[in-house]
Amino acid sequence: MNKVVNNVEEALEGIQDSMTLMLGGFGLCGIPENSIAQLVKLGIKDLTCISNNAGVDDFGLGLLLQKKQIRKMISSYVGENDEFERQMLSGELEVDLIPQGSLAERCRAGGAGIPAFYTPAGYGTEVAEGKEIKDFNGKPHILESALTADFAFVKAWKGDTEGNLIFKATARNFNPMMAMAGKITVAEVEELVPAGELDPNFVHTPGIFVQRIFQGERYEKRIEQRTVRQKS
């Protein structure tokens, strides 16, 4: 049951070109910084990345975009990354933009073994093009398929040697859903503790969904947009 690997290098063993990856986080909050840095170092290319967004130009998934390692992004937001926008508009990067709630549910459905579901989100827009539509209670819904990945990378506040995870505050965003949906889920944590130390009542992701876990290093925890109140 011990799922601890010694470092990020061991955690990413088996990663290959053209794989589909899920990466937790919202903006720069709760992103697997160490795993992303290792992906850049390995030079893996032609990746399909499923993530709420692509971070910023010089941090998060923006680092992979700079190196042209991502072929396709499946995400819901573009706004904070100029390079993402440039590659999308130039046709260098294939982008599937999805309503944010639908993206979260598609990941959750993938982890739960549900192949598809109906949702009203996106009806009447480009999102619905080519998709089956049915009426429920007089309201049109579109059929969305579940998402899964070869590897899912998540970042937690605390984890134990059996892979149980606790996320802190806003970092509990896409991480729990994506942890469920990866064939191999890699969790990097700020604090790694022995099995039995975490209160089961506060575990957000059970260890059954995690295959590898390691304690990360040097988390920057950047803020995308810092807004402060002027002194009166």
Task: For 33-47, write each residue's pLDDT tens digit.
Answer: 999 999 999 999 999
Mean pLDDT of 105-116: 98
Q: How many Å is the Cα radius of gyration of the chain?
A: 18
Contact 55, 27 (CB under 8 A): yes
Domains of the chain, with CATH numbers? Answer: 15-97+148-215 (3.40.1080.10)
pLDDT digits (tens, 9 = 90+) for 133-186: 999 999 999 999 999 999 999 999 999 999 999 999 999 999 999 999 999 999
Mean pLDDT of 11-25: 97
pLDDT band at 77 (very low <50, low <70, confident <90, very high): confident
The pLDDT of residue 224 is 74
pLDDT above 80 (res 223): no
The pLDDT of residue 114 is 98
What does 134-147 look like in DSSP terms, one character per residue?
Answer: EEETTEEEEEEE--
The pLDDT of residue 8 is 97
The pLDDT of residue 20 is 98
pLDDT above 80 (res 222): no
Q: State how far the Cα of 223 lies from the Cα of 226, in Å rounded to an integer.
A: 6
Contact 11, 42 (CB under 8 A): no
Closest to 162 (Cα-Cα) out of 111, 197, 112, 113:
197
- As to burial, measured by CB atoms within 10 angstroms (0-12 exposed, 13-18 middle, 19+ buried), residue 206 is middle
pLDDT above 80 (res 83): yes
The pLDDT of residue 76 is 93
Strand partners, 153: 23, 186
